[in-house]
Amino acid sequence: MITDYLEIIPLTTAKNYLRIDDSLTADDDLIESMIEAALQYVEQYTNHVLVEQNKTYYGNNDPWFCASNVYEIYDFPIVSVVEPSDPDDYTSKTFNTKTKYTMQADTLELNLGYDQVSDVPPAFIQAALAILQVWYYNSEKQQSTTLVPQSVQFALNPFRRFPLF
């Protein structure tokens, strides 16, 4: 499992993309934090979880609503159900953009994230690098109204895991 954003885009890859000599290390911490922030933006925009994590979802515990809780999960990829641990305690159905779990439990805990860097869609890496380039070189310019290029959003739109309203 991928456990760190810097596994997806190592500092050396980012510095090469930014055309920064490896011997210049003054901005290394800044570039690493920008890598993490850019990949977190990709996660938030697409609902693809890049780095392994457990996430807890809370159901609708309204007895008038239905006899069991229904969880519509847009996060992807789902590695496993952590809680409830017994597969007989829930049912699941996978759709194109979501997975629906039905169960009696008030909470659902899932293990999410990509297994290997090669599993991460290349568009995510290129989008994060494009964001990184804008943040690193253009953040002080006043003519930009947004620090996320529109081309990045166009590249990520096909990967969004939730409905566009």
Q: What is the DSSP letter of 161?
A: -
| C-alpha to C-alpha distances, 69 to 33, 92, 97, 107, nearest whole angstrom | 38, 12, 19, 9
Query: How much is the pLDDT for 150?
Result: 86
Residue 42: predicted pLDDT: 97
Give the Cα-Cα-Cα angle 134, 50, 12 (nearest 5 degrees).
Answer: 50
Q: What is the pLDDT of residue 143?
A: 56
Q: What is the 3-state secondary structure (H, E, C) of 36-84?
A: HHHHHHHHHHHCECCCCEEEEEECCCCCCCCCCEEEEECCECEEEEEEC
pLDDT < 50 positions in the chain: 165
pTM of the model: 0.85
